Amino acid sequence: MVNSKEDFSDEDLQKILEQAKRIEFERLQHKTTIPTVFIKELLDSPPNYLLSHNFFDVGYKDRKKISAIHNLIEKIENIAIKYCRELLEEQDYYVNFEQEQPIMYAGFGIHIIFDHKDLYLESKELKCLNFHKLCQCIKLKAFTRLYFENRQYEASFYCVRLASYVFGAGTNEVSGDNDFQKKLSRSNKEKANKRWSKHNQTRPEKKKQYLEIMNQQNFTAFAETAEYIKQHIETDKKPSYDTIKRWLSQANKGNFS
């Protein structure tokens, strides 16, 4: 026989209701573990480790500097949450997708520079390569989180896509010292110059020496001279036959650099 509602006290009914809610919550939690993790990662896109490595001049093994950069990003994030919440509350979280939302592009970076100059100076000390794009990404991540918390899912995922676009554009942006390709090129050039500095110092002497050998041996062709030098003088792997031949040609034209 099934007990009727009258057979239970209010306290018993409350316990049964709480137990049912707990069972349902545990069932849903187990069922949605993977989607929940996915959503958290999506809302945090682009993640801070990508922001740090793409918007700052830092090596992957420089843990101390990376930690300092992450702390800076978190400080800016806290400001962004407050800043964006005020903007959205003024609009009652309304989004009109038929019109471009100017709040998405408002100058949050300028706000940080003027109202939180210490953070801007800290970013310069940590060699931030594109401060404004960094701030735009952080701001859009704040919008993403706030819209999601207010169940404006379409707006939230719109901000995710926009943040990804801004992040990609920021890492490829060409603007003087903020140009990543130029920065990489300069770095590679410096390393090459350092590696070949000793070699470059001896090159003028080698050119003079090779030209003297050509004259002393009465050779008339660079190829013949280079072959002789390679067989009898420069017997190591470097400089190569082609290099010797090229240096002879340059020296013959008066180029001893």
User: Phi/psi at 128 (nearest 5 deg)?
Assistant: -70, 130
Tokens read off for 185: 């090129």
C-alpha dihedral sign at 215, 217, 218, 221: negative
Lowest mean pLDDT among 12-16, 72-76, 95-99: 95-99
Most confident of 16-20, 33-37, 86-90: 86-90
The rounded mean pLDDT for the chain is: 76
pTM of the predicted model as reported, rounded to 2 decimal places: 0.52
For tokens 């239970």, what's the residue? 8
Residue 231 has pLDDT above 50, yes or no: yes
pLDDT for res 184:
45
pLDDT for res 70:
93
**Residue 150 C-alpha from the chain's centroid:** 30
Three-state DSSP class for residue 134 = helix
**What would the mean pLDDT of 37-65 be, rounded to a whole number?**
82
Tens digits of per-residue pLDDT, 167-216?
877 666 534 444 444 544 555 555 555 554 555 557 888 888 888 888 88
Most confident of 109-113, 117-121, 152-156, 173-177: 117-121
pLDDT band at 118 (very low <50, low <70, confident <90, very high): very high
Residue 34 has pLDDT above 50, yes or no: no
Residue 250 has pLDDT above 50, yes or no: yes
